[in-house]
Amino acid sequence: MNGSKRLLILLLCLLLAAAGAVAVNSLDAGNDTAATAAATLPDITTVLPATQALAALTETVPEVTEPRTVPDIPDITTVAEISATQPESAGTTAAAPAQETAAPPSRDTILGYTAVPITPGVINEDSLTDKDDRRVYSFTLDTSAGVRTLVTHSAKEGAGYLWFFYLYEVYKAGGDTGETSYRFLSKQSVAQSEESSLSALTGLYPGSYIIVATCGTVFSDEYFDLTLKADTEGYYEQEPNDNIFAYNEIMTDRPVTGVSSNIGLLDEDWFMFTLTETTVVNIRFAHDVKKIETVAWLLELTDGKGNSYYFDRSLVVDEENLSGDICLPAGNYFYSVKANISNYTEYTVTVNTRDAAGYETEYNDAPQTANRLEFSRWSVSVRGSVSDRLGATDKDWFYFDIPASGIVSVSLQHDDYERSRDAWRVLLYNESNEVVWSQNSALNETTVVSPYIGLDAGRYYLRVDADNLLINNGTYTLNVQYSALDGWESERNNSLPAADEITVGEQISGCIVTTGIDFDEDLYCFTVEESAGYIVSFSHTAIDGAEQGWLIDVLDADGEKLTGFDSLYHDGNRRSDVLLLEPGKYYVKISSGLHFSPRRYTVEIIKTQG
């Protein structure tokens, strides 16, 4: 990223931060006053007018929408948990003492001191002469690096801080010929009870930087050793990346290390990655584990155009959060890490990728954007996952066309997650948006299979979601099989107007299916041409048990019941009494008995002697 572009991004970040500053609770008691001070930093830059900065940025950044609102989530407030997110110290650790409210050194006070050049890995011994004294150190990076500062000294008893170390970026406000300015990045507090203090990680771009050492809450003229540590081999998050305009561009399949810096507002870290073709991504967010049950980060994957693909809350006690497999078309995508509590815990983000063959492709959250399923020898399979999102859950829509009446079977498969909670729902719709079949799948139910579903030629839709179920982003496989077949019911034939017509003396088969909380009803219409005796025959493969599986009713032309009988599991064949029927239209209704069975059944209207 060139210097002028970074400057424009930096200036816009300052404008946005100034407009959106809010008070927050801090987990890190040792940085309470740093947060307060950073929120009121003196203006030490020359700021472009907002309209000018925005005009320049819109030429290089993607379209964005209004920012989303984040649900309220409680912070950690108990003293016992204060040290949970502090960086590990090389020496002994004492309780974090309270800090005095003092703003970081301003530009004017920095310019009064000569900067001492320092080199990574070299120990620099120094001290302060009085409480108003300060030391300024400068260093330059030729490449991006992850930077820490190590301060060692002779530890003493007490709860005070001996020194504060402030890290700044040095740049020219208004271009190469402009005034030298400093942007505050981070603060390190060195307690007098600690022999060694290692700062939080800060990712830095190539450029010039200074470190300013000032007196802490307790003055001491003793010597300290300052060592700059710069890792140029790693891959680090770099400030400012606090919004979608100021993202870090990252590569896929390579971990990037970041820290939610606490320099005022709760930090937001934005990353952008580019896909050159349709690709499956599975984003891993990982960090050290602390035994605290609270939300530390809010994670979201978006495309900058209002579409959210994934949202999650990472607890301090979590080791990792996985987005699950999300298949995305070519384009730019943004992954944001928003601190929910103040903390300096390092994290890593890895955008893992794989080939997209056989996967559903987002955004397919409505029938209008459904993925097409194309049969190969009248079978098709597709893989996907249902992601949680901010204020919503993912819905995967698919559609397929069948050329002639026949039967369809749908199955959903996934790994065994050893819990009995329902986590997926599969629904089959016709073009009239009526649910033809629906079934849930539990976490420990590796396969659910629909009964044979009779369908007329036409277009049908499948939807996989987790509405009102346990959200799980594990990968599922959806399979559809089709066979052209005569002599089978056509769903939805659950009303008199939609009844399937059958001819006296011919057989028709069907299945009772589930449609959510209800069961299917199948209706058949037949016409009597002459007065005679008629029998309704109902048969199915016998099942062990005496449970009532089906109810069979004969209706007149107005839908009024003339007679009825039931069929038990072990009843392979059942027949009605002889019905003396006059010429006209009649119906047979098949519905579930007290015990549902999706088994295939066969119905026939038999004419006896007239």
What is the full DSSP assignment across 296-331? EEEEEEE-SSS-EEEEEEEETT-SEEE---EEE-SE
The verdict on residue 522 lying in a domain is yes
Q: Residue 244 phi/psi, 5° resolution? A: -65, -20
User: Residues 464, 529: one domain?
Assistant: no
SS3 at position 50: helix
> Is residue 133 one of the residues assigned to a domain?
no
Let me know whether 603 and 509 are in one domain.
Answer: yes
Q: pLDDT averaged over the chain?
A: 83
Helix, coil or strand: residue 284: strand
What SS3 state is found at 57? helix
428 domain residue, yes or no: yes
Tell me whether residue 574 is in a domain. Answer: yes
Query: Measured between alpha carbons, how far is residue 524 from residues 9, 437, 605 in Å?
Result: 69, 19, 10
pLDDT at 14 over 70: no
Report the number of distinct structural domains present in the chain: 2
* 565 and 464 share one domain: no
- The alpha-helical segments, DSSP class H, found in 394-506 are none
Q: Assign 176 a pLDDT band (cuts: 50, 70, 90).
A: confident
pLDDT for the residue numbered 61: 33
Question: Which of 420, 455, 484 is where one domain is finished?
Answer: 484
Q: Tell me which of 241 and 371 has the higher pLDDT.
A: 371
Same domain for 469 and 520?
A: no
Compute the distance between CA of residue 537 and CA of residue 551 in angstroms, rounded to an integer: 12
* Contact present, 406 and 455 (Cβ < 8 Å): yes
Host H or E run for residue 9: helix 3-20
Q: Are the beta carbons of 248 and 335 closer than 8 angstroms?
A: no
Q: What is the pLDDT of residue 265?
A: 66
Q: Say which amino acid occupies 239.
A: E
Domain membership of residue 509 (yes or no) is yes
Pairing of strands 326-328, 279-287: antiparallel
Rg (CA), the chain: 35
pLDDT at 86: 35
Quote the DSSP letter at residue 156: -
Number of other residues whose CB lies within 10 A of the CB of residue 357 = 9
Task: For residues 331-342, give the mean pLDDT.
Answer: 94
State yes or no: pLDDT of 459 exceeds 90.
yes
Q: Provide the 10 A C-beta neighbour count for residue 73.
A: 12
Query: Does residue 553 lie within any of the structural domains?
Result: yes
Q: What is the DSSP letter of 53?
A: H
Residues 381 and 469 in one domain: yes
| Whether the Cβ atoms of residue 177 and residue 121 lie closer than 8 Å to each other | no
Are 480 and 505 found together in one domain? no
- Say yes or no: 425 and 376 in one domain: yes
> Which of 455, 484, 513 delimits the end of a domain?
484
547 Cβ neighbours under 8 A, 6+ residues apart: 568, 569, 593, 594, 595
Question: Considering only CA atoms, which of 438, 439, 422 is closest in space to residue 430?
Answer: 438
* Residue 443 located in a structural domain: yes
Give backbone dihedrals phi and psi of 430, rounded to 5 degrees, phi first. Answer: -95, 180
Q: Are 325 and 475 in contact (CB under 8 A)?
A: yes
3-state secondary structure 75-115: CCCCHHHHHHHCCCCCCCCCCCCCCCCCCCCCHHHHHCCCC
**CA-CA distance, 511 to 508, in Å (whole number)?**
11
471 and 372, same domain (yes or no): yes
In DSSP terms, which residues pair with 327 in a beta bridge?
A: 280
Query: Is residue 228 a part of any domain in this protein?
Result: no
CA-nearest of 94, 220, 91 to 150 is 91
Do 480 and 504 share a domain, yes or no? no
Domain coverage including residue 597: 500-607
E-strand ranges in 503-555 read: 507-510, 514-515, 518-519, 521-528, 532-540, 548-555
Q: Where is 10: in which H helix or E strand?
A: helix 3-20
- Rounded CA gap, 237 and 226, in Å? 24
Structure confidence at residue 97 (pLDDT)? 52
Q: Are residues 377 and 477 in the same domain?
A: yes
- Alpha carbon distance 515, 427 (integer Å): 8
Return the CATH number at 395: 2.60.120.380
Residues 495-536: tens digit of each pLDDT: 999 999 999 999 999 999 988 777 889 999 999 999 999 999
d(CA 209, CA 189): 19
Task: Report residue 173's pLDDT band, with 50, 70 and 90 as the boundaries.
Answer: confident
Q: What is the largest CA-CA distance in the chain?
A: 122
How far is Cα 238 from Cα 253, in angstroms, rounded to an integer? Answer: 18
Last residue of a domain, one of 460, 484, 508: 484
What percentage of the chain reaches a pLDDT higher than 70? Answer: 82
Whether a cis peptide bond, with omega within 30° of 0, leads into 137 is no
Query: Quick one: pLDDT at residue 102?
Result: 57
Global confidence as pTM: 0.75
Which residue type is seen at 480?
V
Question: Are both 471 and 531 inside the same structural domain?
Answer: no
Q: Sorting pLDDT into bands at 50, 70 and 90, what band is 278? A: very high
Q: Are residues 440 and 507 in the same domain?
A: no
Percent of the chain with pLDDT over 90: 66
End-to-end CA distance of the chain: 93
Amino acid at 578: V
Q: What is the mean pLDDT of residues 99-116?
A: 75
State yes or no: pLDDT of 63 exceeds 80. no
